Each structure stands twice: as structure tokens, then as C-alpha cells.
């Protein structure tokens, strides 16, 4: 090949793939190395993806969820344009310690974990119970938290149908994984999306996080139920959140009702609301492409 | 310049600008040629932008609005990936005929206009009163209408505060253009967005559409008030809409209350809802970049 042409083509390829001044860490949740960092007396397990430069996006996980419970379609896509960090709360997955049973402890731990990584400013994506932690962190640490995505979540005192819907999910015959019922609508489209989601979250072979058992379910269940049952009639936490917030959920979030997301939108000063059709608690997984498109724009502008 | 390098650079420039197999018509609303087509006994004025290939996006305009009332930042950006058509309703701007005073007539005319252009399938973006026409077209012509964007609008019988808010808008001193008050929030950010919007809509110099006067305001006001005051308690129109719909408005739509958009989302089978913070009726102009990002994805997937 002509040397000049080769140089031009290589240069073009380089500028289209690699952001200037950055190096890539892992780029897939399914194969990313699990690392550890000490904070608050706990050895936190975590994985980092994406470029090293940019405001890191910290994922805050749902009730009983470990790192492998995140949807690679969401995590990997959002890691294209920024560093992404997933981790396990105290006592969950490959993080040691006694599992926390309240949102205050989880918030303190998440803050300590972020500090231990040395980040001065981060964005947050909190899903379900992780959204409670994201609200608390944003309200308490405005200097640390830049932007927040609240997915499938609600406000303090917003109520929940956790026990009822969990009961329904497990009362079915041949339950392989309850998330097909808990996260997705039961339409044909919802069922197809559930199957695709489950194949994605089980794609990782080596070094999967330990699954959660009864101890974690009990502690996290208590944390979720107490927080969503403790009224905050003046919305003090929401009123303290001055950051840009993106609120997202499904048209029929059965565990944390959709109306709670509408309230988050109304009571947070600078919130955008996105509600997806024919969907449930896990709408960001059912509509992962559309969600990533909106979330990436929200984080980048 | 080296001939080979020049060829490579020209080729690179070409593939980055021109989609394969298409030719560009005009690419800016501010300079696009005004054309005419006969339909339903009326000579409709219209402009087309963007590539010739793809499902055309037809813009349906608000109460009294002519073609130059569209925001070039929205129209031009959406015309990058599809043909876009703006036009004037009967008796508005450079379209002749007696101005229509009801949504039924406007829907019949819009359908005839689209047929006259020879399109077999289209997408619709209906803003405010244009959203009423979009709902009627989608419900009545499922074979013609593929996807629908409903911006700053409501459902039949959803009520309105048109006269009150118009009165407020015009009761201020030194009103240059009431849209700063009607379309935007009154925060500093809203006022800045309003000024930017007005500079964009007044950018066109040559061949501007004639402005609307009292006759159009009276007829369109009647159409808007009658349609939003005529109950459709079983949501027959909304239930008939099977297409994918994107519903968008501001956190505080003062003329057509935001709650109406939440109802559109709840009652249309396949609707996504987007509500922007600190915004009013014209949220798609205030957040034009974010809206275009979401709308372009919605139309393209």
C-alpha cells in the first residue's frame, strides 16, 4: 500500500476509535477483572470499564444484586464515553463484611468506596434500592456528585410492593430466575426482552460474583421497606438535590410504583423524566438502546 | 496538494456528509425554497428538507403558526437523517383558502396535503394544536402514519388555559413576541433559551411566510378550545392509536397542562413520555439538542 495512504488511513482509524489522551481499561463487564479496595473496614470488590479520562459513572445496585446482576448492554455501552465503575455493597457478592440493613449505612459505605478510589467528582446511576443511595449521596455530597440517573426507584416514604410482587414472582412454577417477572412486562415483547436480558447477565463465565442468599435478602429487604415506609413529607432529601437528574422507569413499575418516579420528577428541581411503554421495574434493560442513547446524552452535555 | 491525499480527503468528506443512495434537497429551514401543491381545493405552501430517501417526517404546526414559526434548530437537525416537510394549514401563511376553525377540517386538509405529495407512509411531529391533528391522523389512518411525536399537546377534552395565558403574555409591557412567555419558563435559563429561540426563528430573511392576524387567531382559537373542551371520556381516539408515540412537554406547560401529556402516555398503548425540567409549552425548543437526540433515535429505531 502507498505509504501516504496508509498513514492517512491509520490516522483516521486512530482518531475515530481512541479519545485523545486516554487509555482503555477493560471494555466488557463480562470479562472485566474484579479488583479490591479497602474502605470503612471493608474490602470492596469492584470492576472498572471504559476510558480512564472523564467523570466516572458509579453504578449503585438493586436489592440483593451483585456486579453480575448489571446488564452488560447498559454498562458496556455507557462505558464507551466515560469510566464506569460497578461494585458490591458491604457483605454482597465478593465484598466482605456484614451486609448492611439500612440505607444510611449503605450510603456511608458507598461514599467511602468512592473516596477510596480517589475520585473528586462522579456521576451516579442508582437502580431501585441503589436509587435511594444515589439520592442520599447527591443530597449529602453536592461537591462529589455531578449528575444522577435514578432508574426504577422512588422517594423516601414512597411505598413499595416488594413482598407482594416477590411472592407472585416465586409462586409460579419452574422459576429459573425471578427477574423475568420482577423487571419486565408480561407482554410478548416483555418476555422476549426478559429472555435476552437473562442471557446477557449470565454471559460471564469466569470469576462470577457469589450469588446472594437469605441473609442478604433479609437485610436488604429491611433496608428497602424501612426507607420507602419512612415519610419525608416535606421532601427534604429531594429538595436538597440541586444536581441534574434523569428519572427513568417503566409504564407499570410493580415493586416501586411508577407514580413515585413522577413525584421524583416533580419534587427535584432539575429533573428530566422518561417513562417507557409496556415495561416494569427494569425498563432500562428492556429498552437498553433507547435508554443508553438518552443517558449518554444526559451525561455528556 | 498530493493528488492521492486530496482524493482520499475528498472521499472521506463525501462519505461523512452524504448517505448512500440519496440526494439532498434543501438542508436549512431558513433558506429552503417555498413550494406549492394543490389538494382539497387549496394551494398548500410547504418546504422540504433533508435527504430524499427515508420515511418523511411531517411537522404539524401550533395555533396561528406558519412555517417560519418552527425552530430551525429542531427542523434542520431532524432533517439530517430523513426527509422533513413543513407546511401551512388552510388560510395560514402562504397557503390560500379560508382558515379552518375546527380540528376535523384541519385533519382532512393535512391528509389531503400528504396524499398530494405522494407519500405512502409518514411520521408526524405535532406541536400543540398540531398534536391534535397528529392524534386524529394516527387514529384514522394507521396505514399512512408510522410513528408520532406529540409535543406540548394534550388529549381531546384535556382542557386548556389558552385565553388566560395569552392574556398574561400580552398584558406585559414591551411585548416583542409573546412566545418568550408562552413557550418558555421564566427562569434565567428559560429566558436565555427564549432569546436564542427567537433569534433562530427570525433568522430567515428572504421569502418569510406572511404573519398570522386576527382572523387566523380567532379560527384557530375556536378549534383549540372546542377540541380540548369536548370530552372523550373513553379515550376513543387515544385507544385507536396503535403506533409508537413519543410524548414530550415541559415540567410546567401553562397553556396545555403537563398532566395532559401524562394522560396521553397512560392511555396510548405504545407511548414513551419525556418531561423536561424548568420548561413550558415549548420544551422541545428550550431543550432542542436533547429533544433531537431522543426524537432522532425514536424515529430511527
Residue A290 is nearest to which of B270, B290, B297, comparing CB atoms? B297
Cα of B14 to nearest chain A Cα, Å = 15
What are the chain B neighbours of A289 within 8 Å (beta carbons)?
297, 301
B247 to chain A nearest CA, in Å? 10
3-state secondary structure of B205: coil
- Mean pLDDT within B280-292: 98
| CB B249, CB B278: distance < 8 Å | no
Phi, psi of A5 (to 5 degrees): -60, -45
d(C-alpha A185, C-alpha A190), whole Å: 5
> Could you tell me which of A111, A72, A112 has the C-alpha nearest to residue A208?
A72
Residue A148 has a pLDDT of: 99
Mean pLDDT value across residues B175-204 = 97
For residues A74 and B272, what is the distance between their CA atoms, to the nearest angstrom? Answer: 19
**Across the interface, do A294 and B293 touch by the CB < 8 Å criterion?**
yes
- Chain A positions in Cβ-Cβ contact with residue B269 (cut-off 8 Å): 277-278
pLDDT value of residue B15: 39
- What residues of chain B lie within 8 A of the CB of A278, using their CB? 269-270
Counting runs of H as helices and runs of E as strands, what totals does chain A give? 12, 8
Are B289 and A278 an interchain contact pair (Cβ–Cβ within 8 Å)?
no
For residue A285, pLDDT over 80 is answered with yes
Contact between chains at A251 and B265 (C-beta distance less than 8 A): yes
Of B5, B274, B301, the CB nearest to A289: B301
The band of B26, judged by pLDDT with boundaries at 50, 70 and 90, is confident
**Other C-beta atoms within 10 Å of B139: how many?**
20
Mean pLDDT in residue range B170-175: 93
What does pTM read for this prediction? 0.91
ipTM of the complex: 0.90
For cell 449528575, the residue is A147
Tell me the nearest-neighbour CA distance from A80 into chain B, angstroms: 17
Which pLDDT does position A26 carry in this prediction? 76
Which of A272, A294, A297 is opposite residue B277, by nearest beta carbon?
A272
Percent with pLDDT over 90 in chain A: 91
Q: Which of B96, B36, B40, B86 is CA-nearest to residue B61?
A: B86
Inter-chain touch B297–A278, beta carbons under 8 Å: no
CA dist A170 and A60 (Å) reads: 25
Neighbours of B195 (CB within 10 A): 12
| Grid coordinates given for A146 | 455531578
Asked if B294 lies within 8 A of A297 by C-beta distance, the reply is: yes
* Pairing outcome for strands B35-39 and B42-49: antiparallel
CB neighbours of residue B232 within 10 Å: 15
Q: What is the pLDDT of residue A13?
A: 41
Q: Name the residue in chain A with its Cα closest to that of B299.
A: A290
| CA A62 – CA A72 distance, rounded (Å) | 15
CA of B301: which chain A residue's CA is closest? A290
d(CA B119, CA B114): 6
Structural domains present in chain B: 3-300 (3.40.50.1820)
Judge contact between B148 and B241, C-beta under 8 A: yes
Residues of A in contact with B4 (CB under 8 A): 2, 4-5
- Segment (H or E) for B90: none
pLDDT one-digit tens code per residue, B87-118: 999 999 999 999 999 999 999 999 999 999 99
User: Which residues from A are below 8 Å from B244, CB to CB?
Assistant: 277
Q: Which residues of A touch B (CB under 8 A)?
A: 2, 4-5, 8-9, 12, 244, 251, 262, 265-266, 269-278, 289-290, 293-294, 297-298, 301
B-chain CB neighbours of A12 within 8 Å are 12
CB contacts, 8 Å: B276 with chain A: 272
- Cβ pair A2:B2 closer than 8 A: no
Predicted confidence band of residue A124 (pLDDT cuts 50, 70, 90) = very high
Closest C-alpha to B237, from B274, B269, B278: B269
Q: Could you give the 3-state DSSP secondary structure of residue A94?
A: coil
Contact B269 A277 (CB under 8 A): yes
pLDDT digits (tens, 9 = 90+) for B121-138: 999 999 999 999 999 999
Angle between helices A103-116 and A129-140 (to 10 degrees): 70
Measured between beta carbons, the chain B residues lying within 8 angstroms of A11 are none
Question: Which residues of chain A does B298 touch, with a Cβ-Cβ cutoff of 8 Å?
Answer: 290
Asked whether the predicted pLDDT for residue B7 surpasses 80, the reply is no
- CB nearest B275 (choices: A265, A289, A297): A265
Residue A89: all three cell numbers together: 455493597
Amino acid at each position: 500500500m502507498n505509504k501516504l495512504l496508509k498513514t492517512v488511513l491509520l490516522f483516521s482509524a486512530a482518531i475515530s476509535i481512541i479519545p485523545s489522551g486516554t487509555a482503555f481499561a477493560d471494555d466488557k463487564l463480562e470479562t472485566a477483572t474484579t479488583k479490591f479496595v479497602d474502605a470503612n473496614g471493608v474490602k470492596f470488590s469492584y470492576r472498572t470499564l471504559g476510558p480512564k479520562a472523564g467523570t466516572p459513572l458509579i453504578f449503585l445496585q438493586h436489592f440483593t444484586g451483585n456486579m453480575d446482576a448489571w446488564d452488560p448492554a447498559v454498562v458496556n455501552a455507557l462505558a464507551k464515553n466515560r469510566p464506569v465503575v460497578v461494585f458490591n455493597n458491604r457483605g454482597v457478592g465478593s465484598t466482605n463484611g456484614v451486609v448492611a440493613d439500612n440505607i444510611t449505612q449503605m450510603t456511608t459505605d458507598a461514599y467511602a468506596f468512592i473516596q477510596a478510589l480517589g475520585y473528586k467528582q462522579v456521576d451516579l446511576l442508582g437502580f431501585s434500592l441503589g436509587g435511594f443511595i444515589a439520592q442520599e449521596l447527591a443530597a449529602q455530597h453536592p461537591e462529589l456528585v455531578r449528575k444522577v440517573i435514578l432508574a426504577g426507584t422512588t422517594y423516601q416514604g414512597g411505598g413499595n410492593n416488594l413482598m407482594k410482587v416477590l411472592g407472585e414472582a416465586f409462586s409460579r412454577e419452574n422459576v429459573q430466575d425471578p427477574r423475568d417477572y420482577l423487571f419486565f412486562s408480561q407482554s410478548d415483547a416483555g418476555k422476549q426482552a426478559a429472555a435476552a436480558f437473562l442471557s446477557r447477565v449470565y454471559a460471564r463465565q469466569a470469576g462470577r460474583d457469589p450469588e446472594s442468599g437469605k441473609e442478604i435478602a433479609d437485610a436488604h429487604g429491611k433496608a428497602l421497606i424501612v426507607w420507602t415506609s419512612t415519610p419525608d413529607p416535606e421532601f427534604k432529601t429531594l429538595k436538597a438535590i440541586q444536581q441534574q437528574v434523569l428519572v427513568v422507569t417503566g409504564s407499570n413499575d410493580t415493586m416501586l410504583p411508577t407514580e413515585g418516579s413522577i413525584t421524583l420528577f416533580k419534587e427535584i428541581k432539575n429533573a428530566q423524566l422518561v417513562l417507557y411503554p409496556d415495561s416494569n421495574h427494569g425498563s432500562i434493560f428492556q429498552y437498553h438502546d433507547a435508554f443508553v442513547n438518552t443517558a449518554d446524552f444526559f451525561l455528556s452535555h
